[in-house]
Amino acid sequence: MNDKKTLPTGYPTASSQLPSSMQVSGEEGATGATNTGATRGTGAHAGPRISSRRLREIQAHLSERDQAILTSVDRYRFLTARHLQSLHFTDHASATSASRTCRRVLARLRTLRILGILDRRIGGIRAGSEGLVYYVDTAGDRLQRGVASSRARKRFDEPSARFLDHTLAIADMAIGIFETAAAHGAEVVKLDPEHTATRTYADNYGIAQVLRPDLYVELAAAVGDEDVSAFFIEVDLGHESLPTLLGKSLTYEDYRSTGIEQHQYGGFPQVIWAMDAYRETTAQRRRKSLQDSLERNSRLNAGMYRVQSLQDAAAAVVQGLHHD
């Protein structure tokens, strides 16, 4: 029986054949990370320099939606047209109209070098514009650094298929949470991807440590509710060993033991492991193995963790909120 499956839209299928390496991003300020197999860009950010005068002209003609699109791509590192349509083109009469307008806007932002596209496409050569992956190009980066003047100029690295795979899966999860919350009348109070969800703390030896969740999410069961539930979300596509996943869970436990999160927010978020793999049987086995390991480890509070399939995680989180 063939138990291969197609990963959710947005995943480069070739990544399932790549050698193992860490999922987490590397040094801050770089688009690609040294521990993800990223390589130097092949033409990205190339072209004539943009003068300060030209940059001011570009900025003056950007709409609020243009600026919101730039901010979204900057937050998530890489987004597809499907992601951007879901985030910023929701007020159209039909999906066809939204898609057409989205394509036109993105083409204009590429011409202005606000956004660029990766050499690598997703979904194969027949995916067309849906297979394009967008990043913040030269003009967009300079505009963002103008907003956050303390930010260093980004070095662009063409990402490895595996790093891109993981990054787009995080974006899929975030958008799934937004869409599911809207469908159930819930409110996304806060949603931070890794670089804004990072926590720093000192361990028992006083050594500085860093915890990098893939997502930090705060949800309310209904719009305006004061009662908010918080979650750290980790996305796993079957690339990491189970001891690595357990080690990340122990890092959460170390951070929880400091009491920093509880003191600042009144409680510690639930940790969601959203897991998938190229083969469904492999995904099921890995989810069960991680759940068993969490329950057996005496250092962990197993009730703080939930293991879900990647496809069901967003719905499970939102529908699990208490509605009084």
In CATH, the number for domain 42-155 is 1.10.10.10
What is the reported pLDDT for 95? 84
Res 166: pLDDT: 95
Cα dist. 116→10, 12, 79, 144, 225 in Å?
A: 17, 18, 11, 15, 39
In 121-251 the beta strands, taken as DSSP E runs, fall at 133-136, 157-158, 187-193, 199-202, 208-211, 215-220, 228-236
Predicted local confidence at residue 184, as pLDDT:
94
Q: Distance from first CA to last CA of the chain, Å, rounded?
A: 45
Q: Are 66 and 53 in contact (CB under 8 A)?
A: no
pLDDT score at 151: 60
CA atoms within 13 A on the CB side of 163: 23
Other beta carbons less than 10 A from residue 22's beta carbon = 17
Residues spanned by CATH 3.40.1350 within the chain?
164-319
User: How much is the pLDDT for 20?
Assistant: 33
Residue 86 and residue 68 in contact, taking contact as beta carbons nearer than 8 Å: no
Tracing tokens 């995904």 back to the chain, one arrives at: 283
Gap between the Cα atoms of 262 and 307, Å rounded = 22
What pLDDT, on the 0 to 100 scale, is given for residue 62? 95
Predicted confidence at residue 93, as pLDDT, reads 81
Give every residue of the chain whose pLDDT is below 70, as ranges: 1-47, 121, 123-130, 147-156, 322-324
Residue range(s) in the chain whose domain bears CATH number 1.10.10.10: 42-155
What local confidence, expressed as pLDDT, does residue 195 receive?
87
**Quick one: pLDDT at residue 146?**
83
Task: Tell me the CATH number for domain 164-319.
Answer: 3.40.1350
